[in-house]
Every structure is written in structure tokens, then in C-alpha cells.
Amino acid sequence: MEKKETQQKKHHVGASKPHRFLPHYYLFILLIFTIVTTTQAFDYADALSKSLLYFEAQRSGRLPYNQRVTWRDHSGLTDGLEQGVDLVGGYYDAGDHVKFGLPMAFTVTMISWGAIEFWQQIENAGEVEHTMEAIKWGTDYFIKAHTSPNVLWAEVGDGDTDHYCWQRPEDMTTSRQAFKIDEKNPGSDLAGETAAAMAAASIVFRKTNPHYSHLLLHHAHQLFEFGDKYRGKYDASVGVVKSYYASVSGYMDELLWAAMWLYKATDKEEYFEYVISKAHSFGGIGWAITEFSWDVKYAGLQVIASKLLMEEKHKKHADMLEKFRSKAEYYICSCLNKNNGSNVERTPGGLLYVRRWNNMQYVSTAAFLLTVYSDFLQSKNQKLRCHGGIVGHEEILSFAKSQADYILGSNPLNVSYLVGFGPRYPKRVHHRGASIVSYRENKWFIGCTQGYDNWYNIKEPNPNILVGALVGGPDYHDNFVDERNNYMQTEACTYNTAPLVGVFAKFLQTENKSLVQTSDSHLVASF
């Protein structure tokens, strides 16, 4: 991550003879063909598949035999060696080669949450194995990085030296120094998010790999205890991260978030009591937030707490859970533009707009929370009460779909911001590996400045397509400039795409249902 500051196809079935002269079988075929070709819809199955493929492009370490992104090769094979610890593996967060612990953990939490909520849909799409592989590539690394109960390796490499070079990960010559948090150098936010990721992942692996699930829970419990006992912000202990992933929200949201995920994974009352007892002092029911991100977890926490409200065993804490729910609904209403005053801004094309740098990360997380909350309201036959009126679950889901569809190409520029999807998408993604000839094609060493001179500064499209990457996206006026040096708009991050796994799975299901229902209604009307 760089330093901060459709067109509808129509088919007219015109026959020289009236339909009544056609046999019913042929009429059925014509009707189905008409329905399929006149329904404007995106191929969510393709979008889901490609979103999962992206994580393989971001892999660090020794790549497995079934690696599908073939322009990548092994990299970072000595990570941790200087410190005497094995830190090989994990994910590069974006277009550079630093392994940042906080956004990596949030990425894994979000893929896992999507798998938990939309497991059946992902299974129906035939993407369970790839989803679990994406999660496990992260959790395997976290297990390595958690070398003792109160030690967690927070980062490998550093952004400043990394950004002097434009190299493929396979050629890296930059520093691979590793940084850790421990009792004397705490990082409750990092420990909390990593605990949340491992707890959420443990739920995903519970049936298929119970031993691994138990191991993840063991680490999650220790990390939560560590983060809670030795409190402090990780960017105060690991100073090199401040310019890239500073913990602006502090660590209280992550501790609540971790406790909530541990409760979901274990059903142990102690974790639920932690969330309830700290709800006020840690801001869980105090902060009404209009963003959900790798830094700010409150909205996600509040949505999960809202779902607990409906369970009989939580009736004694109903008042407190209602407060969580009111904050969750503040977030939902602000996305729907139905709050009194504080709403998330939108571009003229209808895209949620939080800030100019990598805005799509906030769009994908919003689409996810809206989708989850819509399902929750539907399952309980309830409605959302905003200042701007009462909202049904259909309206919430419809708006979430509008955001997903904007990403996929339903926008003023007719551009898909999910790389590799559709006919038009960003070709000059700000990404070192994608922008340089594949190591598997040309194993000649490419140095720091050579990469800038021969690859970064050229106008041609990237030689490798970073399929499934969600780039930073357009500006406030829906404008987008596809240039490699325009990193505010053309850089992609793992935590941009992670929420889309669940979102695309959900809309694949709804699209299939809609098609079947439309087919049925047309057939009834015709016969």
C-alpha cells in the first residue's frame, strides 16, 4: 500500500407465425431464451471465482502444486531468518511486498465471515475448496507468527525501503526485517484482530478439519488474553507501520471484536460477558460509525451483536444488545442515505464515497454488512427504522446489489473495477508483480531502478492480469484514470476483495432465484 496522504442486451423473438402454432416444447425454449437474454445481470459466479483467484496472486512463500496464478513463483523464502523464526508465507497486502499483520488479519476475518454467512451459496458455486485455501494461507502464517503466548510477529519488511524498489516479489532485494509485539511492546489491536481471524476461521474448519479448527481456537484464545492483558496500540510498538497502517481507532474495537468472534466460535459465556461488560467503556455502544474497515471494527461488531438479540438465551442482556443494534442501524441507515444529518456521501453514479484514497475498500465492506443485515431482517420478519422512514430487507439488499453492480461495471464509465471481469477493466494496476514480465517467463534478475525505468514508467498495459483484484476506484465524480502511478485509484488491496466473496455468493443465489421465478411466471402467463 503506497504511503498515505453495461449495456443491456435485448433479443426480440419475432416469428413469422403466431406463437400458438409452435409446439409447447419450442415455445418453452423460446421463452427461456428471451428471459435469459433480456435480464440485465452480472455473472456473479464468475465474479466469485475471480475474487478468490486474486488471493493466490498475493501469496508470499513457497507456492503449492495447485497454484492457479501461474505468473507468480516462490518468494520471501528467507522471511524471519535474521530473527531466527520461520515467517515464510502469508499475503502481501497490496502492490508492494511488505507483510502487514493488521490488514492481513482483517482480510482473513472477512473471507471467513463471508464463508460462515454464505456457506451454502459458496458450496453451490463449487468454490468451497478455494475459499478454505484462501483462509488457510493466512491462518497458517498466523500460527507461525504467534511464536509464544505473548509474542506475535507484526510485520515483515518495511514500507519505506520497499517503496524505493519496483521489483517482482521473486527478485526482492529490499529489507526483510521482521517486527514483533510482546509484553514490553504491546499491540492489542493487532493481537485482537489476529485472534478474531483465527476464531472466525476455526468456525469454517470445524466440520472438515476439527484438529486444525481446535488449533486455531487455541491460538485465538492466547492472542486475546495477550492483547487484553498487555494493552497498547501496535503502531506505538512498531513505529515503521505508522505511515501505512496506523491504528487510528485504537485497540478497543479490536478487543471487543475478538471477544465476539471467540464467543461465536466457542459459545463460552466469558467472552460474551466481556463484550457486554466493556460495551460502554470500549465504545461498542458509544461509537456510531459510518465506515467499516481494517482499522475500524465497530460497525461489524454491532451487526453481529444485533443478531444475538433475537436469541432466547440473551434476553437478560436485551437492553444492552438493543443499544448495539441502534448503532448498527445508524451505520445501515447512513449507507442508505436515511439518517438525520450524517450519511455516507455518494458519487453522481450512486457509489458510496468515504475518502479519495482506495475508496472501494469501504464500498465492499458496506455491501457485505448491508447484505448480512438484510438477511437477518428477513429471517426475523422485521424492518429497519431509519430517521428517513421504515425500510424493508428488500430495499437494503437492493442497495447492496447496486454497489456490487457498480463495481462490476454498472457505472457511468461502464468499467469493471474488479480486474479481469467483463470486457473493460483497469489494465495498469499499481502492482509490482503484475506490471513486470513474469518470473516464470523471464528469470533474468530485475533490480530496483531497472523495474522503475523499464516497467513502472511505460504506458503499456501490465503483462500480467491481476484477476479478481478490486482497485481503489473512481473519484467523487465517478472519474477514473487507469495509470500505474495513480495509486490512489489503481492500487488493489486484499481487504478490498475479501468482503466480496460473501457478497458475490449471495447475489449469485438471488440472481438464480430471480431467474427461476421469472421463468415460472412467464410460463404460467403463456400457457
Residue 96 annotated as catalytic: yes
Report the C-alpha gap between 363 and 422 in whole angstroms.
19
Q: Check if the beta carbon of residue 104 is closer than 8 Å to that of residue 138.
A: yes
Give how far Cα 246 sits from Cα of 215, 296, 367, Å: 29, 11, 24
Q: Check if the beta carbon of residue 187 is closer than 8 Å to that of residue 152.
A: yes
Q: Which amino acid is at 59?
A: R
How many residues in total does the chain contain? 527
Residue 482 annotated as catalytic: yes
Parallel, antiparallel, or unpaired for β 389-391 and 152-156? unpaired
Residue 319 annotated as catalytic: no
Residue 93 annotated as catalytic: no
Catalytic residue among 56, 430, 431, 478: 430
Q: What angle do CA 485, 480, 354 make, to 5 degrees?
A: 100
Angle between helices 210-229 and 128-145 (to 10 degrees): 40
Q: Checking phi first, is residue 233 left (phi over 0); if not, alpha (psi -120 to 50) or beta?
A: beta
DSSP string for 9-36: P------SS-GGGS-HHHHHHHHHHHHH
H-helix or E-strand containing 44? Answer: helix 44-57
Q: Check if the beta carbon of residue 356 is closer than 8 Å to that of residue 476.
A: yes
Report the 10 Å Cβ neighbour count for 318: 13
Going by the DSSP 8-state scheme, the letter that residue 455 receives in this structure is I
Catalytic residue among 96, 127, 193, 329: 96
Q: How many helices (H) and strands (E) does the chain have?
A: 21, 7
Q: Check if the beta carbon of residue 467 is closer than 8 Å to that of residue 57.
A: yes
Going by the DSSP 8-state scheme, the letter that residue 136 receives in this structure is H
Angle between helices 393-408 and 500-526 (to 10 degrees): 110
Give SS3 for 37: helix
Catalytic residue among 86, 123, 182, 482: 482
Q: What are the residue numbers of the active site?
A: 96, 430, 482, 491
